Amino acid sequence: MNNKPKGKLDAITFVYGFGAAVVLVGAMFKFLGWQFANELFILGLSIEAIVFLISAFERKTEDKEYNWENVFPQLQNQGTASPDTNAYNDAMTQFSATITELNAQMKSMSSSVQQIKTEMEANAKNSAEMQNRMSEFNELMSTYNGNLRQINDKYNNILGGK
């Protein structure tokens, strides 16, 4: 069985929760078209407004600042290097080395991406030039075909004339 002591009931929190419950029930009444929906809304919202007004003037006691040295005893020995401090320094050195390596890899990747971009731009330019040359070639072939037809027509006229 759990023998933990239970906390005190806070009156403001209780009234606030009660008002919220009344507002929700009023909303349900409104959605379902039941009677007294408006009255429940007025009652619930009035309770909420009063709670907000009271809580605006409520004073809280200051919480004691937590004693971090109980959680991290290393904080008590700030002047001396302890094994924990050495472990921390080792971890930070390793972290720094990892960051340095990551930075170098990012620079390498950036350089590779720039190189790919340059190659793609060159390929796009070459492709455009090739397309222009193919257009010129197609025009020449059309002219060649036209000339060949004329030659064939003249040849056929010469053969047909005999």
pLDDT tens column, 64-113: 677 777 777 766 665 555 566 778 888 889 999 999 999 999 999 999 99
pTM value surpassing 0.85 = no
Q: What angle do CA 122, 126, 132 make, to 5 degrees?
A: 150
Q: What is the pLDDT of residue 15?
A: 80
Distance between CA 95 and CA 103 in Å, rounded? 12
Give mean pLDDT, residues 3-32: 81
Which residue ranges make up each domain of the chain?
A: 9-57
CB 19 within 8 A of CB 48: yes
Tokens 């455009």 correspond to 128
Dihedral sign of CA atoms 16, 19, 25, 29 in order: negative
Mean pLDDT of 21-33: 87
Helix 11-32, helix 37-56: angle, nearest 10 = 160
Distance CA 13, CA 81 (A): 49
> Which tops the pLDDT comparison, 134 or 72?
134
Cβ atoms of 29 and 51 within 8 Å: the answer is no
DSSP 40-72: HHHHHHHHHHHHHHHHHT---PPPPPP-HHHH-
Of 33-42, 112-121, 139-148, where does mean pLDDT reach its minimum?
33-42
